[in-house]
Amino acid sequence: MPMPIRTWLKGSASALYVAFHALLRNTPDRCRKDEEMESKHILVVGAGSAGKRHAGNLISLGCRISFVDPRADRLTEVQEKMGIQGIYTSLEDAWRMDGRIDGVAITSPPAFHVEQSIAALEKSIPVLLEKPVCPDEAGAQKLAKVQRDSGVPLLLTYTWRWWAPLRRVKELLERRAVGQIRHVKFVMSAHLADWHPWENYWDFFMASKTLGGGALLDESHWIDLMLWFFGKPERVIASIGKISELKIETDDNVDMLVFYKDGMRVTLHLDLYGRPHEKYIRFVGEQGTISWTVDPNRIRIGREMTETWETQDFECERNDMFLDADREFLNVLNGGSVQTCTIEDGLKVLSVIEAARESSASGCAVVL
């Protein structure tokens, strides 16, 4: 069912909990490093769960935060519980504030990303942009051109790139730990009602086509990881649709078969109706298999015909990857360059998304 644009993010007690505890989680060595950075004023656009998470992390890193959100009740909530410097119901009002804005974090629904990011870039303010860049490739190309022409940094947060276990997986792949990879399987299956249990899932932007929700766009993390690991594929076959009884107007099921020039095959499954939740990647090489799972937080390597695995467990927590992305953004504000994820990376993801949409509509493979 449609969701009015004016209600584009709901409140979250759970997100506030995460944000509050982000203030407490820096180790002493991190604190010493962060104190060396000049305090920055960050304008966070969107007071939903992502906005609260980034704000909590940035406060823990010594930043001052102002918020933009069209809902006054949400602004009151973050002001009371997070010690926010300023609150605004529109980006236009925020631009008129007294004082300098050092950076802008765009955490609104994808439908607003391009317009809001361009507004910041045209004011020479660096941008941290939540994924995906936007709902379509044309919008992403428009934003990418503005970013290139302006030279103002934009950091895109496909946050799994900052996840320590996946960085370890990338190292294993690069040194061919299980030989030439021949098949990879990506699975993300998680019931939408469990994502934000504090609100009706049909009020969440994920339920709205207008706002840029749906499995394909929001869970394009997994497409980004495929590109991060292996680069651009040769062609794709996809089926995208709404097949469950969820009360949403967006796609809740994505299946893709992706072909690479060297013969490698990738299968990718995304759904918004699965229970228990599953998130994993399995890499099958000529000399063994690498398996990565979210729960348990683990990498396994198998080289025998039996279930004999070398296992590495990790103790990192989900917020760590967001915190590391926010650290990189602060480094950018202090003169560093964007290292981990660029607007060009986001364009590549949307190129695959557009090919998948075309394939799903036509029933044919699409060459990239």
Whether the pLDDT of residue 10 is over 80: the answer is: no
Q: Give the domains, in start order, of the chain with CATH numbers.
A: 5-160+320-341 (3.40.50.720), 163-313+350-367 (3.30.360.10)
pLDDT at position 217: 98
272, 246 Cβ separation under 8 angstroms: yes
Two structure tokens written together for 292: 């990565």
Q: Tell me the three state secondary structure of residue 150.
A: helix
pLDDT, tens only, 192-235: 999 999 889 999 899 999 999 999 999 999 999 999 999 999 99
The answer to whether residues 290 and 298 touch, using CB atoms and an 8 Å cutoff, is: no
pLDDT of residue 38: 65
Structure confidence by residue, pLDDT tens digits, 25-66: 443 444 434 444 569 999 999 999 999 999 999 999 999 999
Starting from the edge strand earliest in sequence, which strands make up the sheet with 41-45, in order? Answer: 86-88, 64-68, 41-45, 103-106, 127-130, 154-157
Amino acid at 324: D
Provide the β-strand partners of residue 13.
none
Mean pLDDT on 120-145: 98
Instruction: Taking residues 87-106, report their average pLDDT.
Output: 96
What is the structure's pLDDT at 33? 44
Does residue 9 sit in helix, strand or coil?
coil
pLDDT at 9: 40
pLDDT reading at 294 higher than 50: yes
User: Which backbone phi and psi does 76 adopt, to 5 degrees?
Assistant: -60, -40
Which positions ≥6 away from 345 have C-beta within 8 Å?
156, 158, 224, 227, 228
pLDDT (average), residues 3-27? 44
